Each structure stands twice: as structure tokens, then as C-alpha cells.
Structure 1
Amino acid sequence: MRLPALQKIPALQPTELSDVTQRAVEELLREGESQNTLMSYRSALRYWAAWYGLRYGVMVQLPVATPCVLQFIVDHAERTTPKGLVSELPAEIDQALVQGGYKGKLGAMAHNTLVHRIAVLSKAHQLRQLKNPCHDPKVRELLSRTRKAYAKRGAMPQRKDALTKEPLQALLATCDDTLRGKRDRALLLFAWASGGRRRSEVTSAEIQFLKRVGPTDFIYTLAYSKTNQSGTDLPENSKPIVGAAGKALDDWLQTSKIAEGFIFRRIRKGGHLGEALSPAAVRAVVKDRCALAGIEGDFSAHSLRSGFVTEAGRQNIPLAETMTMTGHHSVTTVLSYFRAQSTLLSDAANLLDL
């Protein structure tokens, strides 16, 4: 059946995208992407542009040539020589990248960071449908051998220390009855007791997804997460905030008088509430409380997540229950969070003593 054309609406070409449609497509792609992912992509592309400009003296343009990607790898990956571990990035360029804010410190970047930088460049070529130098066999082979070289040297990624029950209680003891103290207590317990929430999940938590099921007990519906980016309605989306965690959350909400919007907010001078906390603020809360408690170690926001999994392992909580709380879909992934102390207490480690 043929439909009459609408005179006031210009007809589109079925084989082409209009400028308006192209912008809409790009906006939907951006909105559907994780904010953390977008930030990491921008940071990686900024680094590529800065490195390329300093290395070649011209602005970077896509597609990038394969030799450029190979140069990037040897500039940033350490290799063993008679003089020790070396890489090819000139000291002057390294210094300029640090001074410009593109790098955090001098020296070779972590292997995971190098792989991420290559992956982002590959994605940029893929989105523009350009010939992808990162898929070149030489690049793939060099990355594979580099990964094996790092593994042979025992250069494994450094994990943050786990905030298990005991150190967490020390952090909570530093939270006084000020507005900031009540917020930090509620935040730490919300993140830890609900299954080790990621920092972005904590800062994006909203009242509309919080349901009171008792005087001081709640159920929080995690509508969107790293492992459920499509917003699928699943039973495990419901996270209990009960016991000490529920009481701390109730105290914070009653004191702050937050009835809508984001749960965890900035506290300005004079005790005035501001906008929602940034994900980086969760890391700051953990580190500040660790300093106040006098706890030594390399702790960060992710320590809450690894601490929950580690403590569950120490207390022999069934793995299925732990995964329901954390939201992990892979047994291998969740097991990677277990720390040495949880394995030391397992029956498998003490077979001779049973």
C-alpha cells in the first residue's frame, strides 16, 4: 500500500542519513555509553594526540599508519636489555607529557594502560570505518609477545588492598555525628553491604530507586550497572540495605532531609547540600577515612568491592549468594577478587589438618 507523502515534511533518502539523523545517532551512542568509559576514551585520545604531536611534529590524523602504532608500543612498553628495563620514549617527550597533564608520572605506563590506549585507537578507526592499523598482524604479534614478556617478569597488575570487615569497621569508627560523618558512614556501608557497589553506582544512586521495607531497612533497585547496561529487569537488581547499613542510610536521609534526587551529595560550607558526589569523591572518602583511622595500605574505592567479596569468602558464604549481591556473571571474574587471606582460611588449603 502506498501512503500519501506529507507535503510539509521533506522526504528522506533511504540510502543516506540526513545531518539531523546523523547527529541523533551520535547522541544516542554517547548517551548509551558509560560515563566512565567516555571519560577514559577522551583521556586516551588526548594522550594519543599529544604523543603524536611531540613524536612526529604534526597533528594526528586518522587513519594512523601501522609503523606509528608499533612505535607507540615500544615507546611505552619496557623490555629487558643488558642495561636493565628500557623503553624508547625520549626523556624530553616523557617530561613534556607529564608537565602537560597527559601522564601522571615519568616512565613506562602500566601494561593494562598500554593495551587500553591501543584499544581506544582501534575503536576510533572502527567507528569511522577506516583501515585499522591495530588489526595489523605485526601489531597483534607485538602486543601478544609484550604481554608474555611482562608475565615472564612477574609484572602483574597491582590490585588495591581489600577493605574487609575489620578495617571497614575502623573507617566507620572515624565517622562522627556531623553531617559529613553521617554521609560518609552511610556511603561506606551502602557501597560495601549491598554487594560492593562500584563508585559510579554509588554516586548515581537516587531516591526513586530506594524502597523502605522496615523502620530502617531498605531495598535498592540497581536499574543500571556495568553488567546490566541494557536495564534488564532481573531479580538480582534488588540490593538489600539492612542492619547497620540501613540504620546509617536512614540516619543520613533523616538528617539531610533528602527526599528526592541523588542520595549522596556534596556538603558545602555551612552544612549546605550541593550536587551529587562525583565518582572520584568516593575514592577520596575511602582514602581520607583510612588516613583518619591510621590504616596503612593501598586502598581506593574499589577496595569496598574487593573487600566484600573477600569477606564473603572468609565467612564461607556460598559463591552463588555472593555473585547475586555483587552482580558478577562470571565465576572466574568474581574469584579473581578473592585475596590471600580468604584462601588461607579455606578447607582446601588445610586438608592435612582436617
Structure 2
Amino acid sequence: MARSAEQALLREGESPDTVRSYRSALRYWAAWFGGRYGRPIALPLGEAAVLQFIVDHAARTEAADGRACELPPALDAALVAAGHKGRPGPLGLSTLLHRVSVLSTLHRQHALDNPCAGPRVRALLAGTRRAHARRGDGPAKKPALTREPLEALLATCDDSLCGQRDRALLLFAFASGGRRRAEVVAATVENTPREGAHYIHVMGRSKTNPEGRARSDQLKPVTGRAAQALADWLGAAGITSGPLFRRVRRGDVIGEPLAAAAVRDIVRRRCALAGLPEDYSAHSLRSGFVTEAGRQGVPLGETMALTGHRSTASLIGYFRGAVTQSAAARLLEPEAEAAPPAPAPQPGEP
């Protein structure tokens, strides 16, 4: 009984996105193991199986038979046909590492011997990371939704209820510090009180604060255009309590709160309406905020206070293209080129 309660608390403490990703990874392990060994998967898994999983899915450029990985073609095709894989071939490095990490977590939670912690597995994973780095196969990052493309998205938002909601959502997510999609849908009237012409969003639980502890940077201002758009949406929708952003059903009926995936869908739909060629995602709002702050010379401390980053190293990872505009990169430039002189005063001017 205590064990089941412990597991329930652990599940409740995880975000819905994390739970979904864990379940997807474990379904894949079961499907791969069954196809590879012809029997159901059972814990604890042996180290040999984990090593086989890695070589089956890690991309290699020096395979003797020219194949990109060791996964048998028939099993690869079966995994794709069953919906466990999106396409044939090796997994991306981040996906491979995540699936090994999920299996490791599962063994730790059940107090079982962990095959992922063995020296051979750790050495193979380290070598796989180095091989990807040597080939320049870094993780793909979505482009930043900076001010210019964001304005293009906002221009597609009309005065319909859907248009007002999407305008308010995009501006709220960007202007309050580049909120993650789970944070956007967690915003409520109660945790986003209005103060005059502004709103103050009080951040609770987040990725960098999973326990929801009180912190000095919990207050995220929503001002200017973002505040006006939020007020317009809430007034038009008649929302006075509960989640800020909700589904608009046929006939302009306000429905249930938006799920996190809906934020991604709104960004994609507005990008399509704006005719933007870039592959933006919901997370592009976060990198866009950080990049735009860098472009406009906002001090790192102020940017971090809104994003919630705890280190400058992780914050800088969100910059997309702003590094070339850094003053630190222009230390050898003549002062006249680095900063144009102010115009000379005209006669009669102070």
C-alpha cells in the first residue's frame, strides 16, 4: 500500500508532458525488445540488451555493410508501421539518450540493478555523444520568434473571439518572459491579477521550479500591448475566474481550458496564415524573447528575472543570431563605426 502511494505521488509530481514522454519511451522499449528477442520485456533488463539497443539506434558512418545503424530492416519497418517510430533509420541523439534515461529511471524507482549505470553502457553512450559531436550532429533548434515575425503573426489576428484569444496568448507568452506552453495554459485569473493598466502573473510551479517554492523572480509583469490584449480577450470571452486561455467552440461558445499542445497549434496556424517559411514552434516564443532582449541590449539580469533562468549559461543557449550584435564582439572596431557620434548642436541650441 505504501509503495503504491509512493508511486502515485511520484506520478502526480511529474508534469503531464513528462509522463507522456516516459510512457512513449517505455512503449518503444517494449516493442523493440519483443521484436528483437521474441519475448515480452521484463525487469530488470540485462546490460547486454541495453548495449544492443544503443548500437541498434545510434547512427554510424563507418558501418561495414553501409547501414546507418544496426537495427534489422524488418524490425525497423515494423516499428514504423506500428507507429512507434516516425521514420526508418537511427534515432536522433537526444531521443536515444532520453529512452536510455527513462529505462534507467524505471530501474531506480523499483530499486532494481540498473543496467544503464554499468561501465560498458556509460562508455558506449559517451562515445556516441563524441561521435555525433565530431560529425557536427548537434540538436536541431527551432528558430527564434523575434519581434518581426511575431508582428506578422499578430497581424493575422482579427477581432473575432479566436483572433482576440490568439493575440492575447501570443503577447502574454512573449512579453511575460517567453513562457513555456505548459506555463501559458497554467495561467489563471487568480494567479494573474490586474493592477491598474497592468497584470502581474505570479509564477508557481515551472520547469526550473518544480516544487513551486517562493522565489524573488516569481512576479512576471504583463504590460502595454500585452496587457491590453489580455483585457480585451477576457472581457469579450466573459472570463472572470479560472484559466485565462480557453477553447472557442462553434458559435463563439467558450469551452474548456486549452491544453499545452494547443499553444503549439496556435503558433503553427498563425505562421501558416502569415506565410512565414520558418519552422517555428511554441518554444520559439521563449528563444524569441531572449534573442530580442539581447538585440535591444537588455541586461542579462533583467532578462533572467522574467525567463526564470538560474544560470547565464542556460540563458545564452536560447540566443538565436543575437551574438553577432554583441558589443563584446566589436572591441577592435573604431569608435566611430561602433557608435555613431551625436549630431553637432546647431547655432542657438544649448
TM interval, shorter chain, is over 0.9
- 1:240 is paired with a residue of what secondary structure? strand
The alignment status of 1:40 with 2:34, answered yes or no, reads no
What is the aligned residue count?
333
Q: Which amino acid aligns with 1:157?
A: P
Contact 2:175 2:222 in 1 (8 A): yes
Counterpart contact for 2:107–2:113, Cα < 8 Å: yes
TM-score, reference length from structure 2: 0.93
**Structure 2 unaligned residues grouped into runs of 5+:** 336-350
* Structure 2 equivalent of residue 203 of structure 1: 185
- Corresponding residue to 1:239 among 207, 212, 220: 220
Rounded Cα–Cα distance in structure 2 between residues aligned with 1:198 and 1:182: 20
Amino acid of the structure 1 residue aligned with 2:100: I
Structure 2 partner of 1:64: 45
| Structure-to-structure mapping, 1:133-152, within 5 angstroms | 133-152=115-134
Shift of 1:78: 0.8
Aligned to 1:348: 328
Q: Is the 8 A contact 2:68 2:89 kept in 1?
A: no
Measure how far apart 1:312 and its partner are: 0.5
Q: 2: distance between equivalents of 1:94 and 1:301?
A: 31
1:299-343 deviation line (CA, Å, top 9, x unaligned): 100000000000001011000100000000011000111112x11
Structure 1 length as normaliser, TM-score?
Answer: 0.92
Look up the equivalent residue of 1:137 and give its one-letter code.
P
* Greater mean alpha carbon deviation, residues 27-36 or residues 321-330: 27-36
Distance 2:301 2:187 in 1: 25
Q: Secondary structure at the match of 1:220?
A: strand
**AA in 2 matched with 1:344:** T
Q: Structure 1 residues 57 and 288 mapped into 2: Cα distance closer, same or farther (>3 Å)?
A: same
Aligned to 1:30: 11
How far, CA to CA, are the matches of 1:78 and 1:151 in structure 2? 12
1:71-86 aligned at under 5 Å gives the runs 71-81=52-62, 86=68
1:269-303 per-position Cα deviation (integer Å, ceiling 9, x unaligned): 11112211111111111111111111111210000
Q: Which amino acid aligns with 1:78?
A: A
User: SS at 1:103's partner residue?
Assistant: coil
* Distance apart, 1:22 and its partner CA: 2.9
1:187 corresponds to which residue? 169
Cα 1:85–1:302, aligned 2, differ >3 Å: closer, same or farther? farther
Distance 1:248 1:339 in 2: 27
Task: Give 1:350 deviation, angstroms.
Answer: 2.2
Indicate the residue corresponding to 2:305 in structure 1.
324
Q: Distance in 1 between matches of 2:92 and 2:277?
A: 23
Question: Which of 126, 136, 144 is the matching residue for 2:108?
Answer: 126
* Counterpart among 144, 159, 165 of residue 177 in structure 1: 159
Percent identity, please.
Answer: 55
The root-mean-square deviation of aligned C-alpha atoms, in Å, is 1.2
Residue 314 (str. 1) matches residue 314 (str. 2) = no
Q: Contact 2:55 / 2:69 at 8 angstroms: preserved in 1?
A: yes
Task: Determine if the alignment matches structure 1 residue 339 to structure 2 residue 320.
Answer: yes
Opposite residue 261 of structure 1, the aligned amino acid is G
Deviation sequence 1:21-45 (CA, Å, 0-9, x none): 3332222221112221111111110
> Quick one: which amino acid aligns to residue 174 of structure 1?
T
Q: Distance in 2 between matches of 1:330 and 1:113?
A: 25
SS of structure 1 residue aligned to 2:206? coil
Corresponding letter in the other structure for 2:315: V
Deviation at 1:56, TM superposition (A): 1.0
Tell me, in whole angstroms, the C-alpha distance in 1 between the residues paired with 2:21 and 2:259. 15
Q: Structure 1: how far apart are the matches of 2:208 and 2:200?
A: 19
**1:282 counterpart = 2:273:** no
Change (3 A) 1:170 1:84: farther
Q: Distance in 1 between matches of 2:74 and 2:66?
A: 20
2:96 & 2:116 partners in 1: Cα distance?
Answer: 13
| CA deviations over 1:176-199 (Å, ceiling 9, x no partner) | 001100010000011000000000
Q: CA deviation at 1:214?
A: 1.2
CA-to-partner distance for each residue in 1:234-291, whole Å, 9 max, x for gaps? Answer: 2211110110000010000000001111111111111112211111111111111111
Counterpart position of 2:82: 100
Deviation at 1:84, TM superposition (A): 5.4
Measured in 1, the distance between the counterparts of 2:253 and 2:212 equals 33
Task: Give the SS at the match of 2:193.
Answer: strand
CA distance in 2, matches of 1:267, 1:351: 52
Secondary structure of 1:266 counterpart? strand
Question: Any idea what SS the aligned residue of 1:147 has?
Answer: helix
Structure 1 residue ranges without an equivalent (≥5)? 1-18
Q: Is the CA contact (8 Å cut-off) linking 2:33 and 2:39 kept in structure 1?
A: yes
